[in-house]
Chains A and B, each alone.
Chain A
Amino acid sequence: MPLLTIATFLPILAGLALMALPDRPARIVHGVSIAATGAVFLITLAIWARGIVPGGFAQIEEIAWIPAIGAAYRLGLDGLSLPLVLLTSLLFLLSAIYSARVGERAASYVVLMLMLETASLGTFMALDGLLFYVFFEVSLVGMYFMIAGWGYEDRQRAALMFFLYTLLGSLPLLLAIIGLYLGSGTFDMRAWIDAPPLAGIAAMLALIAMFFTFAVKIPAFPVHTWLPAAHVQAPTAGSVILAGVMLKFGTYGLVRFAYQMTPEAFVQAGQVILAFGVVSALYGAFAALAQSDLKKMIAYTSVNHMGYVVMGVAVAALATDPRIRTIGLDGASLQMVSHGLVTGALFFLVGMLQDRAHSRGIGEFGGLLGRVPWLGWAFILSAFASLGLPGLAHFPAEFQIFLATLNAAPWAIVAILAIVVTAALYLRAIAAVFLGEANPKWADMPDLDGREKLVIVPLLILTVLVGVAPGWLIDIIHTTMTGLGG
């Protein structure tokens, strides 16, 4: 059974079926949405059960598409993409459950979400350069309409900025893909990985183009400016998907395309890329410290966390010892998953807080822990995870990244300063929002209801599980990364 194809296109087919319905009451719409994303989640579990193979892609599905130019419909998985696929299907399921309260144009909202899921899964599983680009761009359109249609106050401007920024960002990738095609005569990404088709100056140009694209998506300093605006204005589920899934397109592409397809140029540019990672990590932390809006603060910590991922990949390229290389890549890949879990949870929680208070200002709350213990403790746990506390999801990832950094490029260890800053900003936010003097304005704020617990608890469990016993996840990643590192 072509499970990958089914998982990829089931959401959009469910969406099309919804559009064909003449009458679309919100209950049915959300029911379909949860059923479809739930089914996709189960299918991705089955895909996981089928497993992957070391040193290449598994579960390949291939049909001819544009034979004239060697483009085909090719899907497949390895240890880099499988965890991201699982993360994607989980976050979309949880978003569908969370969104069940959206009443305004529910059908359009759900169709966009489902389209985004198809695009996201397709991006991670595509093994054809052109197909990858197609999915990559479709996700952009879906997110644009999501922000423009269901966002907050200033949504039109934020949506337009997001679209223009990331479209300009992604077009250089198209040039690089065409360059790789002209160098090899095929769009098969496996061929590009096995025998990198470009060399010398052409490879460097392609790398620069790709790095620009992925840096915008990741986002790395200084091309991150679309992120706070888009996050703050996006509806909650949109923020979760944007941070949890779509930012990973950037880091995934950085490994899959930049690192694997132009390896020599990547090593030459390793120090520069590392510097981008270090600056992003530091800048994201300090910028987050300066925010008074909870959502914006979390958005900037994404810049910080994704900066670590860039560092991990860059030090893997710089390292001479294959063991260290593998550790860097393992850490970077694990960090992508951890960030999806933790930041996803944080955005959900801020969304829940905003649903209740219609405010996101850190200074406007106080003493909420006694009022809404579920919300409060969930936030505190996720915040601790986000600042890298041992035993929670980010720790094993960041530990490996810093280990590799210390070994391959010791100067870059300055980024560890960012952890201190992140700790400070989260403790400050927790103190201001959940501890201290209770603000009487929120005296009758309700705690999380059953649906909200259903959304948040799986993420918290996984956060702890990945922190305490990351072995099961690292094993998947490691299967592929040993091949890449050596």
Chain B
Amino acid sequence: MERDLAFLVPELLLAGAAMLMIVAEMLRAPRLVLVIGLVALGLSAGLTLPLLDADTTVFGGTYRIDAIAGWAKLILLPGTALALLMARAEIAGREREGSVYAVIMLVTLGALMLSGAGDMMVLIIGVVMTGLGSFALVTYPRDDAATEAGMKYLVFGAVTGAVMIYGLTFWFAGAGSTLFSELGALEGQSLILIAGLIAVIVGLGYKAALVPLHFWAPDAYDGAPISIAAYLSVITKAAAFFAFAQVLRDLPREAGWPFALALISAATMTYGYLAALVQTNLVRLIAYSSVAQSGYLLMGVVALGVSSIAVPSLLVFAAAYVAMNLGAFAVIMVAGRSLNDLEGVGRSRPWLGVAMVVFLLSLTGIPPLFGFVGKVYLFMAALEAGYLWLAIIGILNTVLALGVYLRMVIPIYRTPEATAERAPIAPPLVAVIVVATAVTLGLGLLAAVFPG
């Protein structure tokens, strides 16, 4: 018991901090809430470092302390800290400010549960924790758009969650255990395997915004505050992929499920970029682009079990994706929600323009940026798993991606018709953009820190 708890220190710290934050919010001290959150995230990430090489489980195998869970913390916790800063820049001084920070912390805790899930029950807890908090975050503005988006999100989440729980019972029946490590027992029981897998794809695919379960994403992102959209687009999504990795790596590769996932991957990236091509609302544009990025992440899931770099590829690309997507959203918070708002940004604020170009090129996958390193890992995983056709579709989609992102790059350097006065950028936002740029640029060059 003590040993188990020692491994859970980062999670416990986060849970404790979330409680403290709620108390501080009741004291009407939103700054304090923020500070507690940031400190806890930093401490928790620091305490994860010694656990990085651990490969064990706690509480009877239900919760995993392994490379996925460890690196997931190092990716999700700093990502959450950046999202908190972005939220601060957007909603400082508004009512219920502190509650937003506290709920964000709880959702991140749920995301950690997903990334470490070793058991069906933990997976369900993770899905519910991330879900409930996210609904509340989306409806924060309390206007019609936000309420509608929140309702869609909630209904979608409730249905897919129920389907997942129902389907998981098949696996329990087939394997005789709720532990994912026992899933090997499903070998030969194709029907049961498929029934459970469909449920998992529905439940996690909804979180990851895979086609055709992505419909909520653009509405939810657009209805929510931009910082919340940024948060949801990276943290819960990355966590869903980590959960995929935890669930599927012990599943026998039979009944053609890798092929089915490959089809979903191809459909997701293609549809995401095609839909993004026609958007003029930047938040929706990035929303569809992140649908497409999910398709790329799914390439890593397809290769699980056969390719030794499948798990590293998910981790590396997720880290890159968190940095570059948060960065792009942060720039949108400065510039505005419409494509026209980008007009001339590169002329009036040269550094902001450069940062946005870095994020967008990294999202496209242009070297030497971090996004490129991530994509190379994913392509390598897919090729090693024998999915040459999927890699080719991924490559063709990169060209589509270029079209999507250059639509944003070109106006940045156009001469604006009217020179708008430059309001200073909020300091927290500057910090976010600087960190995200440094990570996107720097880790592309120093990719050696990631596990092989």
Contact = CB atoms under 8 A, between A and B. Distances in A.
Interface of A: 64-69, 130, 133-134, 137-138, 140-141, 145, 148-149, 156, 160, 163-164, 167-168, 171-172, 174-175, 178-179, 181-182
Contacts of B399: 164, 167-168, 171
27 contacts: A64-B448, A66-B448, A66-B450, A68-B448, A68-B451, A68-B452, A134-B368, A134-B372, A137-B366, A137-B372, A138-B368, A141-B366, A145-B413, A148-B413, A160-B410, A163-B406, A164-B399, A164-B403, A168-B396, A168-B399, A171-B396, A171-B398, A171-B399, A174-B395, A175-B383, A179-B383, A182-B384
A156 B410 contact: yes
A125 to B, nearest CB: 16
B447 interface: yes
B391 interface: yes
Contact of A68 (B372, B384, B403, B450): B450
B402 A167 contact: yes
Contact of B395 (A130, A137, A140, A172): A172
B448 A67 contact: yes
A66 B368 contact: no
Interface string B373-413: 10011011001100010011001101100110010001001
A149 B391 contact: no
B367 A178 contact: no
B330 interface: no
B137 interface: no
B448 A174 contact: no
Given A141-B366, A148-B413, A178-B383, A65 B447 contact: yes
A235 to B, nearest CB: 15
A175 B368 contact: no
B355 to A, nearest CB: 13
Contacts of A130: 376
B18 interface: no
B367 A134 contact: yes
A91 to B, nearest CB: 23
B448 A163 contact: no
B367 to A, nearest CB: 4
Contacts, number: 75
Contacts of B352: none
Contacts of A134: 367-368, 372
A130 B379 CA distance: 13
Nearest to A136: B367
Contacts of A65: 447-448
Instruction: Determine the main DSSP class of A at the interface with B.
Output: helix
A137 B399 CA distance: 13
B406 A160 contact: yes
B451 A167 contact: no
A68 B399 CA distance: 28
A160 B408 CA distance: 13
Contacts of A140: 366
Contacts of B342: none
Contacts of B383: 175, 178-179, 182
A160 B372 CA distance: 20
B146 interface: no
Contacts of B398: 167, 171
A122 B403 CA distance: 27
Contacts of A171: 395-396, 398-399
Contact of A69 (B309, B368, B392): B309
A24 to B, nearest CB: 11
Contacts of A141: 361, 366
B404 to A, nearest CB: 12
Given A68-B452, A175-B383, A148 B410 contact: yes
A167 B396 CA distance: 10
Contacts of B406: 160, 163
Interface in B431-450: 447-448, 450
Nearest to A175: B391
Query: Which 7 interchain pairs have the tightest Cβ spacing?
Result: A68-B452, A134-B367, A171-B395, A168-B399, A134-B368, A137-B367, A66-B447
Contact of B392 (A66, A68, A175): A175
Contacts of A160: 406, 410
B312 interface: yes
B103 to A, nearest CB: 37
A174 B372 CA distance: 11
A178 B368 contact: no
A65 B367 CA distance: 14
Interface string B146-169: 000000000000000000000000
Nearest to B447: A66
Contact of B380 (A133, A149, A168, A178): A178
B380 A181 contact: yes
Contact of B376 (A64, A168, A174, A182): A174
B163 to A, nearest CB: 37
Contacts of A156: 410
Contacts of B372: 134, 137
A182 B410 contact: no
A134 B447 CA distance: 13
A149 B451 contact: no
A175 B395 contact: yes
B68 to A, nearest CB: 16
B352 to A, nearest CB: 14
A171 B379 CA distance: 11
A65 B444 CA distance: 10
A72 B117 CA distance: 35
B379 A178 contact: yes
A164 B395 CA distance: 12
Given A134-B372, A148-B410, A148-B413, 14 more contacts: A66-B373, A66-B450, A66-B452, A69-B452, A134-B367, A138-B368, A164-B402, A167-B366, A167-B398, A174-B395, A178-B380, A178-B383, A179-B383, A182-B384
A181 B377 CA distance: 12
B380 A69 contact: yes
A67 B376 contact: no
Contact of A175 (B361, B367, B377, B379): B379
A413 B84 CA distance: 69
A182 B379 CA distance: 11
Q: Which of A164, A167, A171 has the most B CB atoms < 10 Å from its CB?
A: A171
A133 B366 CA distance: 10
Contacts of A145: 413
Interface string B342-375: 0000000000000000000100001110001100
Nearest to B398: A171
Interface string B54-74: 000000000000000000000
Contacts of A182: 380, 383-384
B384 to A, nearest CB: 6
Nearest to A160: B406
Contacts of B447: 65-66
B367 A133 contact: yes
